[in-house]
Amino acid sequence: MNIREDIRNVAIVAHVDHGKTTLVDCLLKQSGIFRENQQVVERIMDSNSLERERGITILAKNTSIFYNGVKINIVDTPGHADFGGEVERTLKMVDNILLVVDAFEGPMPQTKFVLKKALDLNLKPIVVVNKVDRPGARPLEVVDEVLDLFISLDADEDQLEFPVIYCSAVEGWASLDPKEKGTDLKPLFDLLIGVVNPPQGEETPLQLMVTSIEYNEFVGRIAVGKLVNGFLKPGQTVTVCSPNGNSQQKIGKIYTYQGLNKVEVQKAKFGDIYAISGLQPINIGETIADLEDPQPLPFIKIDEPTISMTFSVNNSPFAGLEGKFVTSRHLRERLLKELETNVSLRVEETDQTDSFEVKGRGELHLSILIETMRREGYEFQVSKPQVIFKEIDGVKYEPIEKVTIDVPQEFSGTVIEKLGKRKGVMIDMINLSPEQVRLEFLVPARGLIGYRSELLTDTKGNGVISHIFEGYEPYKGEINYRTRGSLVASETGESTAYGLYQAQARGRLFIPPQTKVYTGMIVGENAKANDIDVNVCKKKQLTNIRASGSDDAIQLTPYTQLSLEQALEFIAEDELVEVTPKSIRLRKNN
């Protein structure tokens, strides 16, 4: 095997909010790819508008830096388990991982998930203990917890000898000693050069695994992946190996990554990560192979989805008023297009021509798709998320999630009680500090639907929840999701302050005055378990007689504006969320 000492390929993986993208920012800035006076935004790699708004990474992205004559390709990966498909395929491009762990929180569910994937691929990790400047940081204890995690995942002796570095991505320094504050990230750069395995490969035969797809309106689809073996040139004829058969195609242009830009090259050599245009069609998981001797690489195995929803054409009284793409053809084409780049997603036809069953990793995974489509001008409606059951040897099995919740000590009893009603079983309880406790549960995936907002209410906004798919277990029995009904508009028109004042005595309102409503639209939550009809368009009967006190200004309690995720969590089996570019409405399915 030939070794390329001038290249290093590394992925940065971690639980959400442990500082991956901030660390990449610092590496880019200190590698000198920006001018001294260049204006640089925070979280440079989170280029998607949804990523910037929510402060999370959704799509894995490539960049590269140069240090002491060595090119270091860095892949920034998502931290949410719902986007695990992004992590799984990008790990195929790298030789090592930087495992970033918060110096206070320690290993979390997603840390275990990404580490397991990396160990399965025999990747050697470097552990980065981030946020050591944080109040309450406990770096040495966290390293012990990481070691316990490695042992629990059956890491081999070589993987257990992982190097550790301590850093503060926000302040931009790293140190090999947790008690000493560094001045810059030079120790981390040196570690990347000295410890990360250089890529190995042969000069023949040609093999490149496509691990992601980018799209450019001028050149079409661009295949991104690591050239495992061989060489490539623009205009070269190759074999594209796919599960459906092989096809001969011609390479267009070849690009490599330099900083945040793609730079065109005239020759691609094994070991580096490239973006290739001109191959139509090409999909994730396919291999670009030699024309004469095509040898496909093993197909990427992606974990199965656990949640499904029905996407259908909007048929409410307000259908077609706000959206640009409203027909079943538009909806079908957009969902099929999403399959090209979203490897964890599944789309299936139903017996109704205007409805499609969409399966994903979790509520967040699907809600990001819904929000993206909405911003593109699509108008449609979606059903309540449903878990995907399996039948094994005649027994019904359901997906189980491992849930970690950090809460102040005073709220722990409420959390345990609420998750117990949702068939959750507590497996661990750890005191993080005298005031803070960490609770770990195994909960059926369907028991978590609608729980996040309930947790925030129960803990006065102090609860932090994260969960990850654990496996399938026998069906746990019925769970009562909703203990309250809906307030349903009985008349079409515009809501009035007087009508809402009459309705607010029944429960919590979701709309303000002067909102257009239709019969069957959900305008609030009933305080009791049943649904009731309310007339929020009702106007006060005017007379020419004034009565003492009756004409006082109407006082409305503040309404609750539901986000898309909250709307998906709230609806019952017989209800839908109507999604348009301008509105999110809830309605009865009739």
Q: Has 57 been labeled as part of a binding site?
A: no
Q: Has 431 been labeled as part of a binding site?
A: no
Helix (H) or strand (E) holding 174: strand 173-175
The answer to whether residues 13 and 100 touch, using CB atoms and an 8 Å cutoff, is yes
Distance CA 584, CA 236 (A): 49
- Strand, coil or helix: what is 145? helix
Give just the sign of the alpha carbon dihedral 348, 350, 353, 355.
negative
Distance CA 42, CA 283 (A): 32
The answer to whether residues 484 and 416 touch, using CB atoms and an 8 Å cutoff, is no
Q: Has 301 been labeled as part of a binding site?
A: no
Q: Has 272 been labeled as part of a binding site?
A: no
- Strand, coil or helix: what is 266? coil
Residue 396 tokens, joined: 């019904």
Q: Has 22 been labeled as part of a binding site?
A: yes
Residue 97: how many CB atoms within 10 A of its CB?
28
- Strand, coil or helix: what is 363? helix
Q: How far is CA 142 from the centre of its chain?
A: 25
Q: List Cα–Cα distances, 219 to 210, 251, 390, in angstroms.
A: 17, 12, 42
Q: Has 21 been labeled as part of a binding site?
A: yes
The answer to whether residues 466 and 441 touch, using CB atoms and an 8 Å cutoff, is no
Report the length, in residues, of the chain: 590
The answer to whether residues 5 and 196 touch, using CB atoms and an 8 Å cutoff, is no
Q: Quickly list H helices, 289-433.
A: 328-339, 363-375, 412-421
Buried b (16+ CB within 10 A) or exposed e, 366-379: bbbbbbbbbeeebb
The answer to whether residues 10 and 74 touch, using CB atoms and an 8 Å cutoff, is yes
The answer to whether residues 94 and 212 touch, using CB atoms and an 8 Å cutoff, is no
Distance CA 130, CA 137 (A): 9
Q: Has 156 been labeled as part of a binding site?
A: no
Q: Which residue has the tokens 């005649």?
A: 394
The answer to whether residues 78 and 343 touch, using CB atoms and an 8 Å cutoff, is no
Q: Has 531 been labeled as part of a binding site?
A: no
Q: Has 519 been labeled as part of a binding site?
A: no
Buried b (16+ CB within 10 A) or exposed e, 154-167: ebeeebeebebbbb
Question: Binding site: which residues?
Answer: 17-22, 130-133
Residues annotated within the binding site for GTP are: 17-22, 130-133
